[in-house]
Structure 1
Amino acid sequence: MKKKVFKLEVLKKEQVSAEAVSLFFKIPLAEKKAFHFKPGQFLTIIHTLEGESLRRSYSICNDITDNSYVQIGVKKVKNGRMSRFLNEEVKVGDYLAVEVPMGRFTAELDSTQYKSYYFFAAGSGITPILSMVKSVLSVEPYSRVYVLYGNRNQEQIMFKGDLEILSERFADRFTIIYLLSQPIRSWSELWSTKTDFVYRKGRVDAINIAWFIKEYPPYAQNALYFICGPGSMIANTKARLLGMDVPENRIAIERFGNLGTDVQSKGGMAATAKVYIDEQVYELKLKQGITILKALLNSGATPPYSCEGGVCGACACKLVKGAVLMANNSVLTEEELNAGWILSCQSTANSKKLEVVFEREK
């Protein structure tokens, strides 16, 4: 159950926007199987800064057809220690501790499929979507891809170069529309009737989503919809799609933000918990407001986890006895919740006794 940690060499580092870099990690021949990934998954980087071990998840950006390296995108976040470290200090030739790919926000590809893929991204939400776009275009020659990508201005667009290359190479199957809420305009542009960079002013909102799908209707009736960005953008985009009669089971979401939070709930109660991880059984005493994950880590256990924000799903486990309160859930479906799945990083006790099982991955 515990994810093995590998030391990977930084093969290349590129600036992909004014505030973001892309890191390329070399995958040793012996580890290629371990680092096989699905488009949309993420890597977890572990590094000690100022005496504290930090874990942060970053989406994989490259095409699944090339497994000689794995690439991530990292946007610098204000007060984000790991993101600043990766942007400002890491250099080519450095080695970083990295866990194998994980994540549920993925596209299942098949070369015989005939689909329309709609992607809605804001800011760094383009990172997992870029991997899916590249992979769909490479693997599924009969499918078409449509991307609506929002940013504050031109300088904030991550991977614009990659996206423009895809636009040229797959002009018949790939469409991208850039939305800018506060575009930068030069004096020359004010007097020009033409600009090299084409965009729409606005955000990824109900009006632009409706326009986008009307302008680019599904090429194939088998259409899928992927959304990635901050919380409000996720909720608004999903609501608009549902309002356009898109079936909920055709919508996949990945929420960016709230990573690394330390959940302390005023609700719940003190409890005892029996937790099964592989062949180990842990008997825990949970204080009121302490999550199952935090209690496990304090006991010396090694459960699977990554973001600690209820976003990635890496710490999901099954509650077989008792009740919990979940502070946040951005990944488990209604069916999974009904089947007893919980996020240990967000769950505090709501009954005196708990029994939890971390199931082995298939």
Structure 2
Amino acid sequence: MAFGFFNKKEQERTPGEHYYTLTVKEIVKETPDTITIVFDQPDPPINYKTGQFLSLILNIEGREVRRSYSLCSSPYVDEDLAVTVKRVENGLVSNHLNDVATPGDKIRIMGPMGNFTTEFSKDKKRHIIMFGGGSGITPLMSIIKSTIHAEPDSIGTLIYANRNIDSIIFKDQLDKLQTDYEGRFRVIYILDDAPINWQGHSGLLS
């Protein structure tokens, strides 16, 4: 969730349906149960907005299945497209992708779609406050990077809850952004099961 982030015009926009076949460029292991799938941009490239999602279309066990995953890449920063997939218990697609997705794979997608976005401008000056838990960080990562690079006078605060320290997706990237952009970006971690030497917050985010 990001307070003050949407505008009415964006919420009323109806997305179109566009299909592409993308090539997997890289698989990044984020946590023991989460991967980021990086796709090469096709030619011409796919235009998308910060916070949107792709629907992946796969053939698993002889049937077509579709699942939607938010883009963690930013159109202002990243040359490639990327989505992050966390295993879900008994999840057909999430487990399949975590087990077998490999660089060079071709995956059909629909999108990009979604209204969890806003217009960025170098003339804006705002404080974007974001709350996320677990894999809900995915679109927020796109928002964070876009805000830092597209709005030099804006700042962002992320309050991010996870089960334990090993389940924090993008932790190294978030820590680096906080260091590199001190005063402009801050992340507050909250752990359900914090270790004894944990210096941050613990408990449930509600």
With the length of structure 2 as denominator, give the TM-score of the two structures: 0.89
Structure 2 partner of 1:12: 26
Shift of 1:29: 2.5
Q: Deviations over 1:24-43 (max 9, x none)?
A: 0001222x1xx211111001
Task: List structure 1 runs of 4+ shifted beyond 6 angstroms.
Answer: none
RMSD: 1.5
| Kept in 2: contact 1:109–1:136 (CA 8 A) | yes
The 1:125/1:2 distance shift into structure 2, 3 A limit, reads closer
User: SS state of the match for residue 177, structure 2?
Assistant: helix
Structure 1 partner of 2:9: none
Structure 1 partner of 2:185: 174
| Kept in 1: contact 2:26–2:39 (CA 8 A) | yes
| Kept in 2: contact 1:27–1:67 (CA 8 A) | no
User: SS state of the match for residue 190, structure 2?
Assistant: strand
Q: Percent identity?
A: 32
- Residues 1:95 and 2:96 are matched in the alignment: no
User: SS state of the match for residue 118, structure 2?
Assistant: coil
- Residues 1:203 and 2:174 are matched in the alignment: no
Q: Deviations over 1:115-157 (max 9, x none)?
A: 0100000110000001001100110010110010000101111
Task: Considering Cα pairs closer than 8 Å and 6+ residues apart, tell me whether 1 or 2 has the greater RCO.
Answer: 2
User: SS state of the match for residue 94, structure 2?
Assistant: helix
CA distance in 2, matches of 1:169, 1:62: 18
Letter in 2 for 1:40: G
- Residues 1:116 and 2:127 are matched in the alignment: yes
CA distance in 2, matches of 1:63, 1:40: 8
Count of equivalent residues: 192
| Kept in 2: contact 1:45–1:97 (CA 8 A) | yes
The 1:67/1:15 distance shift into structure 2, 3 A limit, reads closer
With the length of structure 1 as denominator, give the TM-score of the two structures: 0.51
Shift of 1:67: 5.5
- The unaligned stretches of length 5 or more in structure 1 are 190-194, 206-362
| Kept in 2: contact 1:14–1:22 (CA 8 A) | yes
CA distance in 1, matches of 2:16, 2:139: 24
CA distance in 1, matches of 2:101, 2:88: 16
1:217-256 to structure 2, matched below 5 A, reads: none
CA distance in 2, matches of 1:84, 1:72: 15
- The unaligned stretches of length 5 or more in structure 2 are 1-14
The 1:60/1:90 distance shift into structure 2, 3 A limit, reads same
Structure 2 partner of 1:164: 175
Structure 2 partner of 1:25: 39
User: SS state of the match for residue 29, structure 1?
Assistant: coil
CA distance in 2, matches of 1:156, 1:43: 23
Q: Which structure has the greater CA radius of gyration?
A: 1
1:1-362 to structure 2, matched below 5 A, reads: 3-30=17-44, 32=45, 35-66=46-77, 68-185=79-196, 189=197, 198-205=199-206
| Kept in 2: contact 1:107–1:132 (CA 8 A) | no
CA distance in 1, matches of 2:132, 2:70: 13
| Kept in 2: contact 1:10–1:93 (CA 8 A) | yes
